[in-house]
Amino acid sequence: MISKNDKSNEYQNDWAKDTKGEYIHISNAQRGLEGYYCLGCDKEMIAAKGDLQAHHFRHYAKNIDKNKTECVVASRNYRERIAKDILHRLKELTVPAVYKYPPSQTKGVPYIIQDSTTVKAFKVKSEVSFYEDENCEINFGQNSNIQNRYLLLRPDITFFNHQNDPILLVEFVINHKIDDEKRNKLKRLGINTVQIIIPKKPEPEIEKALTSSKKIKWVFNEIEANTEYIYVPKRDSERILPIDEDQRILFEESFKCRAAQINELIRRFKKCLQSEPYRRAEHLFEQEISRVKKATKIEQSRLEEQEARITKEVQREHTEENLELAKRGGRLQSKRREFQKNKADVEERFLSATRKFKEEQEEIRRITKTELNNSGTEAEIRERFRNRNRELREVFKTISEEFERAQEEERRAIDEIARKEDEIAGKYERLEMEERNSFREQKENLRQTERGILKKEKRTIEYDINTKTREISELHHSQSTLREKFKKLEEREREKYRKLEETEREEFRQSRNRIEEKEGNIEVSIREELTRELKDPSSKLPKKLGYILEARRVGSDYKDAERQEKLYQAAREFFKKGTWKSQ
């Protein structure tokens, strides 16, 4: 928050122009009215260099608004222009150390995660616009015709590396305030950003401030944003420095500030819902959502096409392996059916043997009973029973061994089937993993190729624009040069024509005077001659005719001179109208 004195100082001008039109700082100015003028309104200013307030320029006239916006902004803009020129010249900036602060409302001390360093740029540009295109991809360029809904940020200074990638954004501010909207946009960009408070000092002091990190604060740092805070015990005080509250405020926001922003947002939202601009904003949101959906649909379609194409290529490349797997699967199925058949046969044989064994036991009991009823001795009966029992045991043992062999074959067949299934599944998983990795690599290569093509086309377009701009400038310069030459040539021709006209007029006037004088003399001589002829009766007619012919010759010369004068007049009119310029 800015105090009252800070606000009053903010409306004070520290730069002005002298009588030569050169910029001068208040520290280099003389006190009083010494020919200083405002950068914004060109009104006369006084250099106020007292002991109570900070030295500054103030307007002299009483009917001028001393806090006029363009006047204050003009001084601030000049300071920013000085800072931009310095950064363009130095192409480097010392940024402060990066601290990781504990989350809000939790105990803990900040610790350094990156020391202070100097960021060096390959090139520096001013007023570069960062914006989203129709496909929601972030681009940048010096384009002032970008719509506000696509514009993300337009920092004062941008540092670029050799690959023409932005590595640092610089913004000039008058206090430590930064809103959440800009914070979110910076997170969206993911580019390191600092803010600089330009001091109200002369140019050497401003350059000195820019070469140190005292007036520079981090607004966004990628390492800080991606680092989780680790609690540090109090006894481990090594590398723990005093807390920079301004820097902490820039990296986090308090609960009260957030609550005030939410309340203000609710109030504005309610007001917006009841106003006409809400419908326009809703329409813009719908357009934006439609644009994003359209771009998403296009990208999804492209992704599906690439997946289908890659699947076809994989199937075409692994056709033989797929056929071999299919053959093995068929053989496995036939073996499985054969095994099931053998298993059913063995079970049937076992059941048949069991039934036969039971029948024989019944037969033994019946025979035993019959023998006992007959007259056979007990020893003979026991001997016959033992022999029969041995035979039955041998038969049962044979059947049991066959059954065990069948079970063992079944287990081996099951193990072989399971092993082959595992082998096929593992091979399929490997193929699937290889295809996924290949698809990801091809997709990433396509994206990089598209980005490279876009960057190349953008650089080509910028180069063409710069070339055309230079050609237009050269044409304008040539046009202005031709105009100057034409103007000088026109002036020379006019001067030459004026002199020629004056000479012709003088010659015509002299000729006309001579003709008039000669005509008068001829007329007098003719009159005298006629008088003498009339008085002399012996005069002849041919002499009179000679005088008449002489008079006609003189009149013809006069008409020729008159026609020449008309030609000169037509030429003068031709030059006055400027018709000869278009020919």
- Cα separations in angstroms, 56 against 2, 65, 77: 19, 16, 16
Whether 494 maps to a domain, the answer reads no
Residue 431 lies in a domain: yes
* Statement to judge: residues 137 and 24 lie in one domain: no
pLDDT higher than threshold 80 for residue 220: yes
Q: Give the per-residue pLDDT at 265.
A: 66
| pLDDT band with cut points at 50, 70 and 90 for residue 246 | low
pLDDT digit string (tens) for 492-509?
Answer: 877 877 888 788 778 778
In a domain, 497, yes or no: no
346 and 465 within one domain: yes
Residue reference for tokens 């290889």: 434
Q: Is 452 left (phi over 0), alpha (psi -120 to 50) or beta?
A: alpha
Q: Please, is 501 exposed, middle or buried when counting C-beta atoms within 10 Å of its C-beta (0-12, 13-18, 19+)? A: middle
pLDDT reported for residue 558: 65
Report DSSP state, residue 581.
Answer: G
Radius of gyration (Cα) for the chain, nearest Å?
55
In this prediction, residues 511-540 reach a mean pLDDT of 70
Higher pLDDT, 275 or 115: 115
Q: Are residues 90 and 239 in the same domain?
A: yes
Q: What are phi and psi of 443, to 5 degrees?
A: -65, -45
Ranking 190-194, 217-221, 469-473 by mean pLDDT, the lowest is: 469-473
SS (H, E, C) 477-545: HHHHHHHHHHHHHHHHHHHHHHHHHHHHHHHHHHHHHHHHHHHHHHHHHHHHHHHHHHHCCCCCHHHHH
Residue 45: beta bridge partners? 36, 59
Lowest-pLDDT choice from 18-27, 179-188, 200-209, 569-578:
569-578
- Residue 3 pLDDT > 50: no
Q: HEC profile for 101-157?
A: CCCCCCCCCCEEEECCEEEECCEEEECCEEEECCCCCEEEECCCCCCCCCEEECCCE
Q: What is the mean pLDDT of residues 115-143?
A: 84
Q: Which residue has the higher pLDDT, 368 or 298?
A: 298
Predicted confidence (pLDDT) per residue in 24-39, tens digit: 888 888 777 767 878 7
Rounded distance, CA 359 to CA 365, Å? 10
Between vectors from CA 564 to CA 558 and to CA 568, what angle results, nearest 5°? 140
Does residue 243 belong to any structural domain of this protein? yes
Q: Of 97, 100, 96, 95, which is closest to residue 227 (Cα–Cα)?
A: 100
Produce one character per residue of 530-566: b if its CB has 16 or more CB atoms within 10 Å, e if not. eeebeeeeeeeeeeeeebeeeeeeeeeebeeeeeebe
Domain that holds residue 130: 76-275
Question: Which residue(s) pair with 196 in the sheet?
Answer: 172, 216
Among 255-269, 379-393, 556-570, the minimum mean pLDDT is found in 255-269
Q: What is the average pLDDT across 513-521?
A: 76
302 and 447 housed in the same domain: no
Q: How far apart are the first and last CA of the chain?
A: 72
Do the domain assignments include residue 500?
Answer: no
What pLDDT, on a 0 to 100 scale, did the predictor assign at position 351? 79
Please check the confidence at residue 190 and state whether its pLDDT lies above 70: yes
Same domain, residue pair 44 and 98: no
Rounded to whole angstroms, the Cα distance separating 375 from 306 reads: 96
Q: Which residue has the higher pLDDT, 261 or 136?
A: 136
**Domain match, 266 and 281 both:** no
One domain for residues 93 and 230: yes
pLDDT of residue 155 exceeding 70: yes
The answer on 171 and 146 residing in a single domain is yes
CA distance linking residue 211 with residue 432, whole number of Å: 56
pLDDT for 580 beyond 90: no
Residues in Cβ contact with 97 at an 8 Å cutoff, skipping those fewer than 6 apart: 112, 114, 115, 116
pLDDT tens by residue, 424-464: 767 767 777 777 777 778 777 777 877 777 777 777 777 77
Burial of 424 by CB count in 10 Å (0-12 exposed, 13-18 middle, 19+ buried)?
middle
Q: Residue 293: how many CA atoms within 13 Å on its side-chain side?
A: 6
Q: How confident is the model at residue 167 (pLDDT cuts 50, 70, 90)?
A: very high
pLDDT at 166: 93
562 pLDDT band, cuts 50/70/90, is confident
Helix axes 378-535 and 277-317, enclosed angle (nearest 10): 120
Do both 106 and 15 map to the same domain?
Answer: no
Number of structural domains found in the chain: 5
Range name among 91-100, 340-349, 365-374, 489-498 with the lowest pLDDT average: 365-374
| pLDDT surpasses 60 at 237 | no
Which of 285, 317, 349 lies at the terminal end of a domain, its last residue?
A: 317
Under the banding of pLDDT at 50, 70 and 90, the label for residue 542 is low
In a domain, 183, yes or no: yes
Residue 322 domain-assigned? no
Domain boundary among 265, 287, 317: 317
Instruction: Classify 258 as helix, strand or coil.
Output: helix
In terms of domains, do 266 and 130 share one?
Answer: yes
**Average pLDDT of the chain?**
74
Exposed, middle or buried, 579 (CB in 10 Å: 0-12/13-18/19+)?
exposed
Whether residue 190 sits in one domain with residue 106: yes
Q: Is 230's pLDDT higher than 50? A: yes
Confidence of residue 2 (pLDDT cuts 50, 70, 90): very low
Q: Which amino acid is at 537?
A: P
The pLDDT confidence band at residue 19, using thresholds 50, 70 and 90, is confident
Counted residue by residue, the chain has a size of 583
Q: Do both 261 and 120 map to the same domain?
A: yes
Which percentage of the chain shows pLDDT scores above 70? 70
- Tell me whether residue 328 is in a domain: no
Kindly tell me if the per-residue pLDDT of 241 is higher than 70. Answer: no
The kind and range of the H/E element at 48 are strand 44-48
